[in-house]
Amino acid sequence: MPTPVSIARQCLTDEAARALDDAVGVARRRSHAQTTSLHAISALLAFPSSTLRDACARARSSAYSPRLQFRALELSVGVSLDRLPSSKALEEPPVSNSLMAAIKRSQASQRRHPENFHLQQQNQTASFLRVELKHFILSILDDPIVSRVFGEAGFRSCDIKIAMIQPPLSPVSRFPRTRCPPIFLCNLTDSDPARRTFSFPFAGVSGSGDGDENSRRIGEVLTRKTGKNPLLIGVCSSDALRCFADCVERRKGDVLPAEIAGLNLICIEKEISEFVGRGGSEDKLGLKLKELGHMAEQYSGPGIAVNFGELKALVGDDAPGEAASFVVSKLTSLLKAHPNLWLMGSSGSYETYLKFLTQFPSIEEDWDLHLLPITSSRSSVEGFCSRSSLMGSFVPFAGFFSTPTDFKNPLNSTNQSITLCHLCNEKCEQEVSAILKGGSTISLADRYSGTLPSWLLMAEPDTNKGADAVKAKDDGRALNDKVLGVQKKWYDICQRLHHAPPYPKSIFQPVPQVSGAECYGFIPDRRETSSKDSSPSESGSANLSPSTTMNLQKISPSKIQIPLPVVSESESVNFQSKLAGSVSKSKQVETRSSPWFSPCPLPNLSLAPDRTSSSCITSVTTDLGLGTLYASNSQETKRLNLQGHKERMNYFSGSVSAEFDVVSVNNSSQIGQSPSCSVPDLGGQMDARDFKSLWRALASKVGWQDEAICAISQTVSSCRTGNARRHGSNLKGDIWLSFLGPDKVGKKRIAAALAEIMFRSSKSLVSVDLGYQHGSNQSNSIFDQHELNSCGIEFRGKTITDYIAGELRKKPQLVVFLENIDKADLLVQTSLSQAIRTGKFPDSHGREISINHMIFVTTATSKKGNRNLVSGKEPVEFSEERILGAKSWQMKILIGCVTGEASRSNGMNVLVTPREGTSNPKSTSKRKFIDTGSFAEQDKYLEMSKRACKASNSYLDLNLPVEELEEDVDSANCDSDSLSESSEAWLEEFLDQMDEKVTFKPFNFDAVAQKLLKEISLNFQKIIGSDIQLEIDSEVMVQILAAAWLSEKGGAVDDWVEQVLSKSFTEARQRYRLTAQSLVKLVPCEGLSVEEQAPGVCLPARIILN
């Protein structure tokens, strides 16, 4: 249904509405039933000073005179309008669907447009946005009919769009650009001089051939005193030699240096190959050589060069040794006898020459050879000069660039290069297809223009495309350019709008990304509810001193500069548009449309526990740096739903990224676990200076590090209460902590908790693993999913120093968590040293950022003196290193038979298989980890080289020459020594300046393992029976333990055992006949990563039964 003009006008600013009126006028004059985009274009072009005309003038192809091209444009618009069916005249022909759609599109794009963002805030009372003329035109240009019309006149609508977006005086390049020829005028292309914007001088050069570098070089060698006989080496060497021979023959003046001008070149290649290859007589060759000798004696010019050709003839497999040595000895004596005789030849590869050299070790002196590397030949240059006939290919840059599918689906895999974000990509694809369609329509239009109405033509191109292939081919190149232009345009737009192409979610920042806003959104709400009903949390809310709350609220406006968009659909939505007030599609979420703050409302906080799951499931995540949103897929939401049931206090849940999960689970689990504690925890937030509340809050996060937590709390609270510490004359507000020892997860979690407690937002945590470069991550590590391994990809393109500085600049309060401080590189060391000394962190350009309210937490796994403490203990079954290697595989249950004596230990019928293939895994792995400090497995190659290095320390590899080996080891050793020495000294000094050094205890995996095994055994016996054995693969055990370590809630893994594992046992019992001889095995499916995670714990939600 067409839209009445008055309604369409409402959506437009006055200026744009005037343009629409003009378009309506055009439609009326032509008695058309509807006002379409074409009418609008016609109207917009009517005025000589219009924006569109101006943009066209700038985007114009330089190949044609402006007058001509505008005339062409007017013509093609006119023709297109003529094709529209006319009807009875209407006073106001209504706005066509396509034009209305364009208006809607421009509304949307205007919202997305960051420049207009503030504008909306000012008049956001208006329920919708009035489209400005610029955006109106831009989206009209998207219309395929319009771009076709422009295309016919030699314009590319994408160029025009770019011209409209860009201010007039910003030439993209210093160089004139060539453009595709207008299709409308395509027969003029060849005669157009302007097309050859830059000439390629080399075409002339290589054509005449006198600039041949190789020949010049050969000539240079010939003039040398020693080593005057060139042996050309390289794939193209024989070409080069032939080329040189040609030049000499034709007596080109400047190829040969003046001294040897007039050189006589004689080729004996044929004779040699005949003699050696076919066993010709010695006499014949001898004669030839003798002749040469005579010639040399009698020759009056500078001399004679003997070209013996390709060296392969002498060393080839079919060349008998004696024949070759005959030739060589003859040539040698000839050379000795005649000083004015040169020898030259070529060798395709160095290897051939080496072979030759082994046969005739003294040949280099005997022949006085000079090896001349030849890397290119003239003949191939000429080949390159010929114009390619492949210009018409439909696929631009095929092969060199990734294939078009790569371009269009950049998110196929995370490894692929990402060009566009989802949204832009989609649009780009649409436009490309539109253009392709449009492209083929042009030819059709030309052909049928008289007979068919144009809308019919539009509908048909696909069917006629094949028949029209020839024509299409002609247009192919232009289309290519168009397609490319579109892709480029969207790339530009994507870059501008979304700052950067978004990263796949797996490489988001390692920081748990809960926006600060939700905390604020939460706290006032919380207060509200607790004052209303007498929930168990009331006692706690008494702790909330009004002043603090006020304070909080005071803070919040200044803090919440990050708009928090609310989304719950599983599509990427540009967040500006969300904020503009478009209501999210979610049923539950209501957006409080304040221009820059849209908190997540938590309406059902006081609802009965069992009702929570159905409502208030909001998925919120922001990506600060990128500004693009990803919402969860339904699967995850479901999972969280489930969880919500369980946790009973589901005030907030849902997310895309796993880390967010962690936080939400964490929050709710706390409340769920200990209802009485929930508010004191909140109270902890209120008064972070209080040692006790800090300690309690931290202890609730990490239960197993009592002493460390005690020390941390003490330090932080004493620092905060202003035990005046000074940087020179300034009061020091920054806190420096160092976490030493094992327990990576505990350290990280404490840092995160500190951020949350001290700065009331887990967003205030920036974590950087300084050791990441020393080893890349294992694929599919369980820790990846928890973002506990920061993989360093977010640092791409910048140094760590600048990354940290950037983060510090963004927020006034931050916990900076630096893992593996002992691996800090020189720049980071310098910056950190200065920061701890002066309270200002310098970036790599020397700009300083105050770190006054920051907390710096650095970690190191081992420290001198502490090492004994860690490794001196009796060997453990599950070491932290082993757990850190855990992968997130799917699990499956296999049924086997008991073979031989199965030992039953400690009354359980569950046993864990020993680790495969290693008798003493700990010693090697420990060494590795202490040496490199890396948690993840080494990169394949790195590891290989390292292992080789290490191995050579202990034994000699007999396959390697000894000297080389030792040299290698020595240099490697001294390198690492000097490196580590200087950085150790730095570390010591640096750590001495810390406010506190806290040593962590190792996490007792063995105890957890014992407990879990007992639990599993209990379940197993209950379901399957006590006479059947269960064998758990050690990899699985490692995975379970890692999950237990990572899970924030104490009993998460127990729950998993009870629900997931037990269910699988039950299934197994039902499906198989299990006898006493049966052996139930729980093994990992290596290579198959977990599809669906169980709620609250990173273990599979389902176990495959096989």
Partner 1 sequence: MGNTLLEALNVRVVGNGERVLVLAHGFGTDQSAWQRILPYFLPHFRIILYDLVCAGSVNPDYFDFRRYTTLDAFVDDLLNILDALGVDRCAYVGHSVSAMIGILASIRRPELFTKLVLIGASPRFLNDHDYHGGFEEGEIEKVFSAMEANYDAWVHGFAPLSVGADVPAAVREFSRTLFNMRPDITLFVSRTIFNSDLRGVLGLVKVPCCIIQTAKDVSVPTSVALYLKNHLGGRNTVEMLNVEGHLPHLSAPMLLAPVLRRALSR
Q: Is 963 in the site for partner 1 (CB under 8 A)?
A: no
Query: For the chain, what is the total number of helices (H) and then of strands (E)?
Result: 46, 19
738-763 as b/e, with b when 16 or more CB fall inside 10 Å?
A: bbbbbbbbbbbbbbbbbbbbbbbbbb
Minimum CB distance to partner 1 smaller for 635 or for 779:
779
Q: Does 180 bind partner 1 (CB under 8 A)?
A: yes
Which three-class secondary structure string do you get for 370-405?
Answer: EEEECCCCHHHHHHHHCCCCCCCCCCCCCCCCCCHH
Judged by CB under 8 A, the stretch of 210-218, 328-336, 1015-1023, 1053-1061 that binds partner 1 is 210-218
Q: Which of 144, 230, 234, 1095 binds partner 1 (CB under 8 A)?
A: 234
Stretch that binds partner 1, among 37-45, 82-90, 489-497, 551-559 (CB under 8 A): 489-497
Shortest distance, position 454 Cβ to partner 1, whole Å = 29
419 binds partner 1 (CB under 8 A): yes
Determine the interface stretch with partner 1 among 390-398, 685-693, 880-888, 1041-1049 (rule: CB under 8 A). 390-398
* Site size with partner 1, rule: CB under 8 A: 101
Tell me how far apart the 2 most distant CA atoms of the chain are, in Å: 122
CB contact at 8 A, 36 and 27? yes
Residue 217 or 646: the one with the smaller Cβ distance to partner 1 is: 217
Given the rule CB under 8 A, which of 283-291, 495-503, 520-528, 1012-1020 is the region that contacts partner 1?
A: 495-503
| Residue 207 found at the interface with partner 1 (CB under 8 A) | no
Q: Name the residue among 236, 298, 231 with its Cα closest to residue 264.
A: 298
Residues contacting 670, CB < 8 A, separation 6+: 677, 678, 681, 700
Place of tokens 């960051």: 114
Q: Which is nearer to partner 1, 43 or 241 (CB)?
A: 241
Minimum CB distance to partner 1 smaller for 30 or for 499: 499
Smallest separation (angstroms) from partner 1 to the CB of 811? 21
Q: Are strands 264-267 and 735-740 parallel, antiparallel or unpaired?
A: unpaired
Determine whether 806 is exposed, middle or buried from the number of CB atoms within 10 Å of its CB (0-12, 13-18, 19+): middle
The smaller minimum CB distance to partner 1, of residues 341 and 421, is found at 421
- Here the tokens at position 871 are 């490794």
Among 104, 397, 868, 1027, which residue sits at the site for partner 1 (rule: CB under 8 A)?
397
Nearer to partner 1 among residue 200 and residue 955 (C-beta): 200
Q: Is the dihedral of CA 930, 935, 937, 943 positive or negative?
A: negative
Spatial distance between the Cα atoms of 389 and 392, rounded to a whole number of angstroms? 8
Going by C-alpha positions, the residue among 111, 84, 79, 107 that lies closest to residue 96 is 84
Cβ 90 to partner 1, closest distance in Å? 44
Residue selected from 2, 25, 211, 293 as contacting partner 1 according to rule CB under 8 A: 211
* Nearest distance in Å: CB 371, partner 1: 6
Q: Considering the complex, what minimum distance in angstroms separates the CB of residue 393 from partner 1?
A: 6
Tell which one of 488, 527, 638, 926 touches partner 1 (CB under 8 A): 488
According to the binding rule CB under 8 A, does residue 166 interact with partner 1?
A: no
> Among candidates 225, 21, 239, 59, which has minimal Cα distance to 136?
21
Name which of 392 and 1051 has its Cβ closer to partner 1. Answer: 392
Residue 302 touches partner 1, criterion: CB under 8 A: no
Question: Which residues have a Cβ under 8 Å from the Cβ of 567 and sit 6 or more positions away?
Answer: 573, 575, 578, 584, 586, 619, 620, 629, 631
Query: Dihedral, CA atoms, 708, 804, 867, 881, nearest 10 degrees?
Result: 90
> What one-character DSSP code corresponds to residue 432?
H
Q: Which strand (E) or helix (H) includes residue 329?
A: helix 321-337
Both tokens of residue 274? 């005949």
Residue choice 6, 375, 506, 721 for contact with partner 1 (CB under 8 A): 375
Q: Is 959 in the site for partner 1 (CB under 8 A)?
A: no
Site string for partner 1, 762-801 (x = CB under 8 A): -----------xx-x---------------xx-xxxxxx-
User: Closest CB to partner 1 among 495 and 586?
Assistant: 495
Out of 27, 140, 222, 236, name the contact with partner 1 by CB under 8 A.
236
505 in contact with partner 1 (CB under 8 A):
no
177 contributes a contact to partner 1 by CB under 8 A: yes
Q: Is 359 in the site for partner 1 (CB under 8 A)?
A: no
Nearer to partner 1, 21 or 210 (CB): 210
Residues between 988 and 1027 that touch partner 1 (CB under 8 A): none
390 burial via Cβ count (<10 Å: 0-12, 13-18, 19+): exposed
By CB under 8 A, the residues from 828 to 857 that bind partner 1 are 844
How many CA atoms lie less than 13 Å away from 163 in the CB half-sphere? 19
Decide if residue 958 touches partner 1 (CB under 8 A).
no
Q: How far apart are CA 1086 and CA 778, in angstroms?
A: 13
* CB nearer to partner 1: pick between 36 and 487: 487
One-letter-per-residue 3-state SS of 690-747: CHHHHHHHHHHHCCCCHHHHHHHHHHHHHHHCCCCCEECCEECCCEEEEEECCCHHHH
Closest CA to 575 of 516, 522, 619, 626: 626
User: Could you say which of 186, 371, 869, 895 contacts partner 1 (CB under 8 A)?
Assistant: 371
**Residue closer to partner 1 (CB basis): 380 or 1059:** 380
- Helix, strand, or coil here: 891? strand
> Is-contact 508 623, C-beta < 8 A?
yes
Element (H, E) at 345: strand 341-347
**Is 200 one of the binding residues for partner 1 (CB under 8 A)?**
yes
Closer to partner 1 by CB, 413 or 920: give it.
413
CB of 326 to partner 1, least distance (A): 27
Choice between 1 and 391, CB closer to partner 1: 391
Nearer to partner 1, 461 or 485 (CB): 485
Whole-number minimum distance, CB 946 to partner 1, in Å? 11
Place of tokens 């757990």: 883
Q: Which of residues 854-913 bind partner 1 (CB under 8 A)?
A: none
- What is the rounded end-to-end Cα distance, in angstroms, of the chain? 58
Amino acid letter, residue 850 = S
DSSP letter assigned to residue 816: E
Which region, judged by CB under 8 A, interacts with partner 1, from 233-241, 305-313, 423-431, 813-821?
233-241
**Binding residues for partner 1 restricted to 935-954, rule: CB under 8 A:** 939-942, 945
Which of 477/1102 has CB closer to partner 1? 477
Rounded to whole angstroms, the Cα distance separating 362 from 518 reads 82
Q: Does 1100 bind partner 1 (CB under 8 A)?
A: no
CB of 986 to partner 1, least distance (A): 13
* Residue 493 is a binding residue for partner 1 (CB under 8 A): no
Quick check: 386 and 380 in contact, CB under 8 A?
A: no
Our CB check for partner 1 shows the closer of 475 and 1035 to be 475
Among 348, 601, 812, 1025, binds partner 1 (CB under 8 A): 348
165 is an interface residue for partner 1 by CB under 8 A: no
| Span 426-485, contacts to partner 1 by CB under 8 A | 477, 480-481, 484-485
Q: Give 67 or 174: the residue with its C-beta nearer to partner 1.
A: 174
Which residue of 62, 166, 349, 614 would you call a contact of partner 1, by CB under 8 A?
Answer: 349
Q: How far is CA 984 from the centre of its chain?
A: 34
x-or-dash string of contact with partner 1, 33-62, rule CB under 8 A: ------------------------------
**CB contact at 8 A, 229 and 369:** yes
